[in-house]
Every structure is written in C-alpha cells, then in structure tokens.
Amino acid sequence: MATVPFGYPREMPSEQSTDLLDSLKVAAAALREAKISFALAGGLAAWAHGGPPTEHDIDLMIRAEDAELALGTLRDAGLPVASPPEGWLVKAWHGDVLIDLMFAPKGILIDDDFLDRCPVVNVAAVDMRVVPLDDLLVSKLLALTEHNLDFGPPLEWARAIREQVDWASVRARTDDSPFARTFLFMLDELGVAPGRDTFADR
C-alpha cells in the first residue's frame, strides 16, 4: 500500500457529519471483510486531504470486476442496493446516507495500479486508501455537463487544497471538456489556481 506523502494532513477536521462517517465505517468494514479493494472519493476524500467538510453522499472507487461482488457484499450486510442504468456505478444506502460505488468514472481507469498509488489516510480512526487530489479533481471536472454544472464543491476543494494540486496535470487531463476549461479559467480569475498562460511560459 502507498503511504501518506509529505504535505498530506495527518488529522481530519472535527466538523464532519458523524452520520456520513458512521456509514463510511460500515461500508468500509464490509468491503474489507470481503477483500474488495476500494478508495475513498468525492467530498469525503477532499475532506480527508484537508478540504472542507461535506454533507453529501459517500463516493467509493472500486474495480469494474468487483462491482457485482461489492453490491452483494453490502446487500448481505443489510444495506439496500441498486444498479442504476448509468452503467458506471452501483449504489447502496445506510439509513439515509447514499453510498456510490464508482467503477468507471470519466478520466480514470480504476485498476490495481491506480488503487496502489492511492495514499493510505486515517479517516475517522480507520486507515483506508483515498483518491489523490489530482484524480479527484479530474473526475469531478469531467463529470460536469450542461445538466450537472455545479461548480460549488470543486471550488470549495480548490480553495482549501490548492497548494497540494498539480494544476498543470489537472488542466492537461481535462482540456477536452469546455466545462472544465471554464472552471479552471474561473479559478485563474479568482487567483485560486494558475492559468493556462502560466504553464505555457515554462
């Protein structure tokens, strides 16, 4: 397993929802018992890297070949589950908390190499792999569409963790998306992240 690299936070902020963390522990324990590798993603991953707390659902990244096994594992643990038509994730619920298990997010191939390079972070007293910040932002930005154009969460993440992000890499990996380019232009205008001209001059 990868270890937490220099500059990553060792402790989490205390404001995070206990409901989310309790649900995360239940899902993580069930997947670990079934020997299914996963990495924490989404708002909780940003929080684990030092970003703001989140009130949204739990996102976990798993390999595509583990999707059915993961769904069955959580079902056996007593969680309601579903396979939505989108074809890139499956879902479970722990009480009112939604748990998305993503196996084909845009811009990321989830395989053993990807999971191995996810740093292990202590999240609410549980050691688990957490998606690196660059990959977290890339997957979030590539998910933006005309019908899903919420800049709020990634803007909060970017403000809090900008020093830890390889912005040149994020820009290069998302350059085909007009929504990602718009978001990164906004970050440049706000002075949150360097713009395209900064990298062009190197």
- The number of angstroms, rounded, from the C-alpha of 56 to the middle of its chain's C-alpha atoms is 12
Q: Do residue 97 and residue 111 come from a single domain?
A: yes
Domain with residue 103: its CATH number is 3.30.460.40
Q: Do residue 178 and residue 160 come from a single domain?
A: yes
Report pLDDT for 10: 41
> Number of structural domains, the chain?
2
Is 70 exceeded by the pLDDT of residue 66? yes
Report pLDDT for 56: 80
Q: Do residue 197 and residue 102 come from a single domain?
A: no
Chosen domain end from 76, 97, 131:
131
Report pLDDT for 110: 97
Q: Do residue 28 and residue 41 come from a single domain?
A: yes
Q: Do residue 18 and residue 53 come from a single domain?
A: yes
State the burial class of residue 158 (Cβ atoms within 10 Å of its Cβ: 0-12, 13-18, 19+).
buried
Report pLDDT for 54: 87
Q: Do residue 56 and residue 137 come from a single domain?
A: no
76-103 pLDDT, tens digit per residue, is 999 999 999 888 999 999 999 999 999 9
Q: Do residue 43 and residue 14 come from a single domain?
A: yes
How much of the chain, in percent, has pLDDT values that exceed 90?
Answer: 71
In angstroms, what CA-CA distances link 103 with 37, 62, 88?
11, 5, 6
pLDDT tier at 75, thresholds 50, 70, 90? very high
6-20 pLDDT, tens digit per residue, is 334 444 444 788 999
Q: Rounded CA gap, 110 and 95, in Å?
A: 28
Q: Do residue 5 and residue 55 come from a single domain?
A: yes
pLDDT tier at 198, thresholds 50, 70, 90? low
Torsion of CA 4, 101, 57, 130, to 10 degrees: 0
